[in-house]
């Protein structure tokens, strides 16, 4: 059984093929194309040619892609959404779409209604649903919207109303209308969850294109026996069927895949990961085999959400970063870069711009292009530039460390050749021949997950029982996403007591992961 992984990034589309023991059979890097699809086709074609494996032996195909992010950022191909918030008479002081950029609101039609419904923190009904009111609202939207987003106050605690309203929407607008329920999209925090749910509903057309496009690309190369998955931003996979319901979860999967791929190559569970690309270096933290998540709310295309994004520090240093001598004699590196034009602009490739790659060649760290061409670079200048590069990396890595102890570093990415052999504060630097396609490898080895979050009152439901309840619900979700029953493991339990509320009220969040079935 072989596995194919594709990662579509801003500059490159990479593909890798792994064998039964998850060893790399072949890997390729191709340029990302404007239409994305051509790049994916090319990558699959190239990796099959290079490896000469029988396409029929590929049983799993994974795609990590930026298409949904691009659609939101460029406001392209987004659906018109009708937003139903269940919460009246509470919450009307902040309406849906508050503080969104106006162009994306217009793109989505901006239609919303705050109707009766919602729950209190303890799961009691805040207000009863009013189906007459719902019907009137839905009929007024008929023909003007393509999908529906339903967001209920405290639906993380009780999602019954959201489910009921979804059934009713289908009754009124027909079975075909895509619907997003907030309880499945985000956690507590009404506005950020609502934003994510609206974006999710806006992406239904885009994700449909992505998943059918990927399926067709595979068929075209005679890969017809593979189960198809898309990558989520937490380092786990979802089936295309699941992804078509929750396209928003693909946002930000790129950096996650790179960290996970690096972890796999180095066989590490805890380390810093440095991914040096052409223009930037991204630093992430690998904690128990998964990327450490960012604690600040993430903005996507100007919209604040509560996605589980990896905590990444980016600095303007890559293999194509431009190195200059300033008037005062100091040497600067970046933040501008020749980017993917490195093969024509850099000195070693016969160009006339000094890049960090040229510095690495000059100092004998690596042999790339025509090494004789670096003769014209002054050695003192190169040494100065090297110190700048070293300082930039040392500083950035130190910022991401969680202790003053020395930590291990996994170095990946196409620009990894510019990094020094030793960095202070780092005990060991791991490199791999496949480091430049770590993200595609991350896509290929991703697992499936399930997550559950709820508020419990520990003096009514005992803590142990509450944790057990959350675990079983998270496992159920992982099974639905395609996990193999026996491989499922709990990777995270978070308990947050709620201030002021009585009865030892605590918010519990459980996350499980498992291998793909």
Partner 1 sequence: MRKLSVNSIKNIAIGAALLGAGGGGNPYIGELMAVSATRKYGEVTLLNVDEVESEALVVPASMMGAPSVQLEKFPNGQEFYKAFDLLEKRLNKKIAATFPIEAGGVNSMIPIMVAAKTGLPLVDVDSMGRALPELQMSTFTLYGHTATPMAIVDEKGNGALLETIDNVWTEKIARSIAVDMGATATVASYPLTGKDLLESGVKGVITLCEKIGEIITNVNSYSTVAQALVALLDLTNGFCFMEAKIVDIKHTTKDGFNFGKVELEGLGNSRNKNGEVEFQNENIIFKLNGEVAITAPDIITFLDIESLNPITNEELKYGKRIYVLGVPCSDKWRTPAGIKLVGPRYFHYDVDYQPVEDLFKKVKELN
Residues 304-323 vs partner 1: string with x where CB under 8 A?
Answer: x-------------------
- Read off the DSSP letter of residue 294: P
Return the range that interacts with partner 1 (CB under 8 A); candidates 63-71, 365-373, 430-438, 504-512. Answer: 504-512
Distance of CA 290 to the CA centre of its chain: 12
Judged by beta carbon, residue 94 or residue 366, the one nearer partner 1 is 94
Q: How far apart are CA 403 and CA 393, in angstroms?
A: 17
Q: How far apart are CA 119 and CA 156, in angstroms?
A: 10
Judged by beta carbon, residue 88 or residue 214, the one nearer partner 1 is 88
Residues 6+ apart with CB under 8 A from 236: 446, 447, 448, 449, 481, 513
Judged by CB under 8 A, does residue 184 bind partner 1?
A: no
Judged by CB under 8 A, does residue 403 bind partner 1?
A: yes
Concatenate the DSSP letters of all residues of 306-373 into one string: ----B--EEES--TTEEEEE-TTS-EEEEEEE-GGGHHHHBGGGT-SB-BHHHHHHHTTS---S-GGG
Total interface residues for partner 1 by CB under 8 A: 45
Concatenate the DSSP letters of all residues of 437-493 into one string: GHHHHHHHT-EEEEEEEEEEETTTS-HHHHHHHHHHHHHHHHHHTTB-GGG-EEEEE
Residues 125-144 vs partner 1: string with x where CB under 8 A?
Answer: -xx-----------------
Judged by CB under 8 A, does residue 461 bind partner 1?
A: no
Burial class (CB in 10 A: 0-12, 13-18, 19+), 93: exposed
Judged by CB under 8 A, does residue 292 bind partner 1?
A: yes
Return the range that interacts with partner 1 (CB under 8 A); candidates 1-9, 62-70, 134-142, 503-511. Answer: 503-511
- Give the residue from 196, 195, 150 showing the smallest Cα distance to 170: 150
Judged by CB under 8 A, does residue 392 bind partner 1?
A: no
Judged by beta carbon, residue 42 or residue 505, the one nearer partner 1 is 505
Shortest separation between residue 200's beta carbon and partner 1, angstroms: 19
Judged by beta carbon, residue 329 or residue 500, the one nearer partner 1 is 500
The upper half-sphere exposure of residue 429, i.e. CA atoms within 13 Å in the direction of its Cβ, equals 19
Shortest separation between residue 340's beta carbon and partner 1, angstroms: 28
Q: Which parts of 123-201 are beta strand (E)?
A: 147-152, 179-181
Shortest separation between residue 305's beta carbon and partner 1, angstroms: 12
Q: Which helix (H) or strand (E) holds 42?
A: helix 37-51
Return the range that interacts with partner 1 (CB under 8 A); candidates 81-89, 324-332, 434-442, 465-473. Answer: 81-89
Judged by CB under 8 A, does residue 460 bind partner 1?
A: no
Judged by beta carbon, residue 67 or residue 182, the one nearer partner 1 is 182
Q: How far apart are CA 466 and CA 452, in angstroms?
A: 12
Judged by CB under 8 A, does residue 447 bind partner 1?
A: no
Return the range that interacts with partner 1 (CB under 8 A); candidates 38-46, 236-244, 293-301, 332-340. Answer: 293-301
The upper half-sphere exposure of residue 179, i.e. CA atoms within 13 Å in the direction of its Cβ, equals 22
Return the range that interacts with partner 1 (CB under 8 A); candidates 91-99, 170-178, 204-212, 259-267. Answer: 91-99
**List of residues contacting partner 1 (CB under 8 A):** 87-95, 98-99, 118, 120-121, 126-127, 153-154, 156, 188-191, 285, 292, 295-297, 304, 399, 402-404, 495-502, 504-507
């Amino acid at each position: 059984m072989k596995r194919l992984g594709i990662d579509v990034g801003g500059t490159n589309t990479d593909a890798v093929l792994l064998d039964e023991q998850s060893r790399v059979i072949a890997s390729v890097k191709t340029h990302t194309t404007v239409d994305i699809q051509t790049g994916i086709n090319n990558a699959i074609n190239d990796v099959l040619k290079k490896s000469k494996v029988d396409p029929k032996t590929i049983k799993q195909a994974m795609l990590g892609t930026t298409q949904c992010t691009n659609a939101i950022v460029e406001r392209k191909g987004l659906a018109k959404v009708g937003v139903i918030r269940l919460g009246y008479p509470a919450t009307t002081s902040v309406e849906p779409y508050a503080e969104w950029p106006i162009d994306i609101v217009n793109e989505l039609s901006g239609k919303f209604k705050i109707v009766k419904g919602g729950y209190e923190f303890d799961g009691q009904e805040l207000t009863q649903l009013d189906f007459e009111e719902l019907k009137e609202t839905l009929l007024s939207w008929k023909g003007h919207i393509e999908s529906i987003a339903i967001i209920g106050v405290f639906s993380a605690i009780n999602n019954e109303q959201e489910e009921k309203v979804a059934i009713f929407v289908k009754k009124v607008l027909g079975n075909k209308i895509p619907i997003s329920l907030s309880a499945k999209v985000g956690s507590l925090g009404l506005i950020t969850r609502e934003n994510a749910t609206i974006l999710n509903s806006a992406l239904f057309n885009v994700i449909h294109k992505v998943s059918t496009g990927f399926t067709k690309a595979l068929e075209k190369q005679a890969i017809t026996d593979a189960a198809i998955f898309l990558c989520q931003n937490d380092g786990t996979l979802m089936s295309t069927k699941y992804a078509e319901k929750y396209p928003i979860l693909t946002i930000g999967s790129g950096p996650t895949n790179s960290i996970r791929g690096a972890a796999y190559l180095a066989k590490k569970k805890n380390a810093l990961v440095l991914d040096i690309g052409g223009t930037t270096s991204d630093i992430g933290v690998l904690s128990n085999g998964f990327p450490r998540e960012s604690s600040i709310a993430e903005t996507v295309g100007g919209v604040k959400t509560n996605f589980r994004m990896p905590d990444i520090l980016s600095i303007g240093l890559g293999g194509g970063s431009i190195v200059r001598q300033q008037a005062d004699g100091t040497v600067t590196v970046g933040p501008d870069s020749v980017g993917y034009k490195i093969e024509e602009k850099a000195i070693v490739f016969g160009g006339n711009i000094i890049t960090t790659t040229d510095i690495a060649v000059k100092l004998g760290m690596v042999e790339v292009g025509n090494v004789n061409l670096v003769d014209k670079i002054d050695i003192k200048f190169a040494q100065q530039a090297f110190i700048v590069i070293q300082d930039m990396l040392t500083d950035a890595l130190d910022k991401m460390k969680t202790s003053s102890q020395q930590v291990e570093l996994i170095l990946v990415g196409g620009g990894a050749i510019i990094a020094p052999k030793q960095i202070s504060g780092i005990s060991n630097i791991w490199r791999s021949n496949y480091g430049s396609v770590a993200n595609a490898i991350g896509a290929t080895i991703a697992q499936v997950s399930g997550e559950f979050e709820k508020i419990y009152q520990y003096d009514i439901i005992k803590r142990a029982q509450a944790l057990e309840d959350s675990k079983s619900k998270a496992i159920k979700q992982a099974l639905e996403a395609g996990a193999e029953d026996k491989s499922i493991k709990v990777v995270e339990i978070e308990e947050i007591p709620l201030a002021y509320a009585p009865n030892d009220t605590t918010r519990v969040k459980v996350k499980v992961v498992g291998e793909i079935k």
